[in-house]
Amino acid sequence: MKTRGFTLLEVLLAAVLTAFVALVAVAGLRSVSMTRTTIDQASEAADALRYAAEILERDLASIARNSVIFEAIAADPAIGMPPSLRMRIYQTDPARPNSPESDLYEVEYSLLQSEDKTLFVRRICPLVGVEVDREETSGGILTVLSESILDFQAQYFDGSQWLDYWLTETELPQLVLINLLAADTSQLQKNSSTSAKQPRVLQKTIWMFFPGQPHLGQNTSTTTTTTTQTETTVSGETQTGAQ
């Protein structure tokens, strides 16, 4: 009894079907992988933004009142000067473990350009109280808080107007408004005018006013911070937010 084999047409048809199924499976796996990468990138940017904002909020809430130093410099793109904020804070955790230190520190926030990256950094100096001149606190321990933060914008309310800088070291502003902007490259969007792809931007807003300082005509007795998070495109054409 002879067994009938497959014809050439049947073999070709089976090969085509197998290849089609394989392509569908590979496309599905690639889509899952890209989705996972997108989620990881978005989560990384949001986590970096939240972490940097929490550290900054904690330092603002810990400002030393009996040894006030509060100096804010606005950005000057013409000479390449980044924005910075320098202040004295109380910190319970020593900056250098196993070293005898007081709880009074000088801390400074700024943006640094490193090759093709913008770094949001925190510098803390443990020499406060024993220094002879300001140069002794120009060093310290430098920590990179985030490589995703693109911009650090701050404004200071003196009771009558908002300022982009604060050079009165021995006096605190009544109100501080800080915006941190971080890049989220997980969802690249096309610019309608240039077809160039640009990342979405996440924004974290920090409001701070201090005990004993009148807040827009109101007396307060506690330090308060509020944060809002919004997301917008770099071009600023669209914006969504939640508070």
Residue 54 is predicted with a pLDDT of: 92
2-34: per-residue pLDDT in tens?
Answer: 666 667 777 788 888 888 788 877 777 777 666
User: Which tokens is 3 given?
Assistant: 């067994």
* Confidence at residue 129, expressed as pLDDT on a 0 to 100 scale: 65
| C-alpha closest to that of 47 among 58, 39, 35 | 39
Query: Which range has the worst mean pLDDT, 89-98, 115-124, 181-190?
Result: 181-190
Asked if the model's pLDDT at residue 56 lies above 90, the reply is yes
Average pLDDT (88-97) is: 85
Q: How confident is the model at residue 189 (pLDDT cuts 50, 70, 90)?
A: very low
Give the tokens for residue 134.
């300001």
- pLDDT recorded at residue 121: 92
Q: What is the pLDDT of residues 104-163, one digit of tens each?
A: 888 999 998 877 788 899 999 887 666 656 666 677 888 999 888 888 889 999 888 999
